[in-house]
Amino acid sequence: MWVSIYAASYLVLEIAALYFAYVAVARARTPQGSIAWVAFLISVPWLSVPAFLFFGHTRFRGYVVARRDSEEVIAGIGAFGKSNQPTGDGGDRGFTSFEAIAKLPVVGGSAMDLLIDGKATFDAIFEAIDEADSYVLAQFYIIHDDDLGRAFADRLVAAAKRGVDVRLLFDSVGCSKLPQPYLDRLSKAGVKVVNAHALRGPRHRFQVNFRNHRKTVVVDGQVGFTGGLNVGDEYMGHSDRFGPWRDTHCRLRGPVVTQLQLVFAEDWHWATHALLISELQWEPEPAEENMDALIVATGPGDVMETGTLYFCACILEARERVWIASPYFVPDVDILSALKLAALRGVDVRILVPDVIDHRIPWLAAFAYFDEIREAGVRVWRYTDGFMHQKVVLVDDDIASVGTTNMDNRSCRLNFEATAMIFDPRAAEAVAEMLESDFERAYLMEKTLVEQSLRRQIGAPFARLWAPIL
């Protein structure tokens, strides 16, 4: 009897594995992803079928953003770009590729201030919230109920009590440990608290892809913040496990804030069905710095591979240097090829990654890529002074990018991300100085994989097999 039950169960499992293999082939965005899933599903169905239920979908079908759903917003984007023309032309290749990826125009009259590490970031964010007159829009992937989390809640509650319209979006996966009383306190104070996937999120409870990884604060439509920092004590460097936490956020002013606000409005619309167009300020004061800027918001709802295209466009734009800081380095084949080609044509290509382990599998998988890019001339720097979590790109002396996008498949295809691109030598110089300081706290990787520990030699190739879902 038990043999028959086992045989029937195994048959059902095999049928499920074959069906999911078909789904992987039909829907995967890359051949690598489909091949990896097919091999995994057929060879180890007892493990792969549950994994596919959690991780096996790479498209968010039916995602409709507010700017496509509202004629008012569609018309407004065109007028907005014309009334805030950039001062530059984007050089030899122009802004066209970046604008096409973002579906937004590069706008002038903006400014970016680098916020290096937790104290500078949250001092600036808290000051802006405390000075809010009309509204605060806040969105984070992770919020903890710790010292920083409670200080953040205190600011939101105080703003709501003085009549400011406060809205908070949180991701249910990133905030899975956030206790309900924390959210209840905000709601009772008048803060409009919304799970980013509450109404139209993943189709079943197994789905943990499509995380909203954006970290955004917009105040009164005049000042905005985005970057790598979530709300938690570890981001302030108070973690015994990680030690000092190296991260970068940025404060934005001018017309680019309107674009960041639009991205928040899209996510709010997705989560609530409500349009915020008439409730928000869409004409920020121009900044004296008059920098050209663009918000590139990417995600699995996009028709094109916008996350990958963003990285490739930056790399292809480089003539002299492209420096990239990312806590995770699990690039797809297109990004990998772009990096190698840039190095082969003489561009100074540097990748800055942490030496400290955060998530072991992606950390280990990165070693399977390092030899390949180093052979082409890419230099890999490993940051040693605590954990490095920033997502920063520098191109030549002209483009600086700060945002939420890691150089891995999850950021490029599975998460909703946002990145601020500044096309200005002053911003590029500030980012260059910051990264040069980071390189001083890092070492140049010189050992090949065969010279690493036996655990890394064996583990890296197997970890790389998980690249499509990392």
- Say what the pLDDT of residue 78 is: 64
Name which of 113, 89, 114 is nearest 99 in CA terms. 89
Tell me the pLDDT tens digit for each residue of 205-252.
444 567 899 999 999 999 999 999 999 999 999 988 898 999 999 999
Q: Which of 32-41, 315-324, 439-448 has the lowest mean pLDDT?
A: 32-41
Q: What is the mean pLDDT of the chain?
A: 87
pLDDT of residue 412: 83
Determine the Cα–Cα distance for residues 106 and 95; give it in Å rounded to an integer: 7
205 or 301, which is more confident: 301
What's the confidence (pLDDT) of residue 37? 66
Do residues 225 and 115 lie in contact, with contact meaning Cβ atoms separated by under 8 Å?
A: yes
Average pLDDT over residues 267-288: 88
pLDDT at 281 over 80: yes
Report the pLDDT value the prediction gives residue 32, as an integer from 0 to 100: 58
Q: Which residues sit opposite 295 in a β-bridge?
A: 420
**55 touches 410 (CB < 8 A):** no
- 320 to each of 267, 392, 397, 399, how far by Cα in Å? 37, 17, 9, 12
- Could you identify the residue written with the tokens 């996966």? 173
3-class state of residue 60 by DSSP: coil
- pLDDT per residue over 54-74, tens digit each? 555 555 555 545 555 655 655
Place 360 in a pLDDT band, splitting at 50, 70 and 90. confident
Q: From CA 364, how far away is CA 318, in angstroms rounded? A: 28
Nearest 10 degrees: Cα torsion 55, 458, 408, 196 = 30
Mean pLDDT, to the nearest integer, of 435-444?
98
E strands, 79-203, in order? 107-116, 135-140, 165-170, 192-195
Cβ–Cβ < 8 Å for 190, 158: no
Instruction: Tell me the pLDDT tens digit for each residue of 96-140.
Output: 999 999 999 999 999 999 999 999 999 999 999 999 999 999 999
Q: Which amino acid is at 408?
A: D
Burial state string for 225-259 with b = 16 or more CB within 10 A and e = fewer than 16: bbbbbbbbebbbbbeeebebbbbbbbbbbbbbbbb
Instruction: For the chain, give the percent of residues with pLDDT over 70.
Output: 79
Q: Tens digits of per-residue pLDDT, 171-195? A: 988 998 999 999 999 999 999 999 9
pLDDT of 202: 46
pLDDT at 145 (0 to 100): 97
What does the pLDDT average to over 11-37? Answer: 65
pLDDT score recorded for residue 375: 96
Per the CB < 8 A criterion, the answer to whether 247 and 401 are in contact is no
Token pair of 255 as six digits: 């017309």
Q: Which strand (E) or helix (H) includes residue 417?
A: strand 417-423
Give the H or E element holding residue 455. helix 454-464
pTM equals: 0.87
Instruction: Give the active site residues.
Output: 213, 215, 220, 389, 391, 396
